[in-house]
């Protein structure tokens, strides 16, 4: 699994275009998409599904089933309202196939709607253009803040106002993390949920100049699109996912460093760079390096395979 520690959140998962996309934020109890089902993802109670291409949804029935098998509470999937019925029918087919009923919950969202994600947090659906109905998501947190008009008055006065029953605070929604899912470029990438999130996980399927047309046909993003939007995004960390295997990782590293211009832009599947970064974080915190049994996988490597556009 790719791994990044972006305090206070871990961002972990596997995301390779056409093969498998799953990005988990354990601290938020959510995973975006579930192309297959890596074991750690069983611990999150919600899957926020971007769309139903196989590389994003194939692990879903297995995830429901394993949660049940391990006696965890039923999982829930949040999805675009246009595909909720089909997901229900898929789960019904599993009842017919297995002759047993796996508990599951489908939360159907129209673009612009939201659903609670634990206490004080909300998962918002943002419609994005792709070759099938698709959503991006933003997780916000409600925080109680002092009203701006009371910001510069002494605390004794604040206390007095509160005792008089004056409404001195208001709720603000802080966008924590956003996930674009697969998407064509466009102004939707500049709307608040994506623009203001502290961590933005964004697909970037293509890197090579000759693949720009291919990105357009499959309604995916190219690194040149990321370059165009980066200046508008306020994210402290931008995490690129869904790279095609056609992109050699060393090239992706180089291009990202060039595009980032000092901003923190990460490649989720760049195991080597992310491990060195995490070791440095541990060292800075006075912790020993973690011993790891396996070498990180350098997932997006060269491959001659040319998948047809529009199926990822």
Which residues in this chain contact Zn ion in the complex, by CB under 5 A? 53, 55, 182, 312
Specify the residue, 11 or 204, whose C-beta has the smaller distance to Zn ion. Answer: 204
Closest approach, Cβ 163 to Zn ion, in A, equals 56
Residues in contact with 69: Cβ distance below 8 Å, sequence separation at least 6, in sequence order: none
Residue 17: CA atoms inside 13 Å, Cβ hemisphere, count? 34
Closest approach, Cβ 245 to Zn ion, in A, equals 12
Q: How far is CA 288 from the centre of its chain?
A: 29
Which helix (H) or strand (E) segment holds residue 60: the answer is helix 60-69
Specify the residue, 182 or 270, whose C-beta has the smaller distance to Zn ion. Answer: 182
Residues in contact with 159: Cβ distance below 8 Å, sequence separation at least 6, in sequence order: none
Which helix (H) or strand (E) segment holds residue 199: the answer is strand 199-203
274 phi and psi angles, rounded to 5 deg: -70, -30
Specify the residue, 132 or 230, whose C-beta has the smaller distance to Zn ion. Answer: 132
Specify the residue, 90 or 158, whose C-beta has the smaller distance to Zn ion. Answer: 90
Length of the chain: 312
Closest approach, Cβ 248 to Zn ion, in A, equals 20
Specify the residue, 103 or 133, whose C-beta has the smaller distance to Zn ion. Answer: 133
Closest approach, Cβ 131 to Zn ion, in A, equals 7
Closest approach, Cβ 182 to Zn ion, in A, equals 4
Q: How far is CA 269 from the centre of its chain?
A: 14
């Amino acid at each position: 699994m790719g791994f990044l520690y972006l305090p206070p959140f871990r961002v972990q998962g596997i995301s390779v275009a056409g093969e498998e996309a799953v990005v988990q934020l354990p601290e938020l109890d959510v995973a975006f998409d579930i192309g297959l089902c890596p074991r750690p993802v069983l611990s999150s109670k919600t899957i926020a599904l971007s769309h139903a291409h196989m590389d994003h949804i194939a692990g879903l029935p297995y995830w429901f089933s394993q949660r049940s098998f391990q006696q965890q509470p039923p999982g829930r999937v949040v999805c675009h309202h246009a595909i909720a019925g089909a997901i229900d029918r898929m789960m019904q087919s599993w009842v017919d196939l297995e002759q047993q009923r796996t508990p599951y919950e489908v939360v159907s969202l129209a673009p612009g709607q939201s659903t609670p994600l634990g206490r004080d947090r909300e998962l918002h659906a943002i419609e994005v253009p792709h070759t099938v109905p698709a959503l991006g998501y933003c997780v916000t947190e409600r925080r109680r803040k002092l009203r701006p008009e009371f910001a510069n008055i002494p605390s004794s006065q604040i206390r007095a106002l509160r005792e008089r029953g004056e409404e001195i605070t208001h709720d603000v929604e802080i966008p924590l993390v956003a996930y674009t899912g697969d998407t064509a470029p466009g102004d939707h990438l500049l709307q608040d949920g994506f623009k203001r999130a502290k961590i933005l996980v964004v697909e970037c399927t293509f890197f090579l100049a000759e693949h720009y047309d291919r990105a357009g046909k499959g309604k995916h993003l190219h690194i040149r699109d990321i370059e165009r939007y980066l200046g508008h995004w306020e994210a402290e960390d931008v995490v690129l996912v869904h790279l095609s295997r056609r992109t050699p990782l060393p090239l992706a590293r180089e291009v990202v460093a060039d595009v980032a211009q000092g901003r923190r832009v990460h490649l989720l599947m760049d195991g080597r760079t992310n491990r060195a970064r995490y070791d440095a974080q541990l060292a800075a915190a006075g912790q020993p390096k973690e011993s790891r049994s396996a070498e990180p996988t350098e997932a997006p490597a060269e491959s001659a395979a040319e998948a047809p556009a529009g199926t990822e």
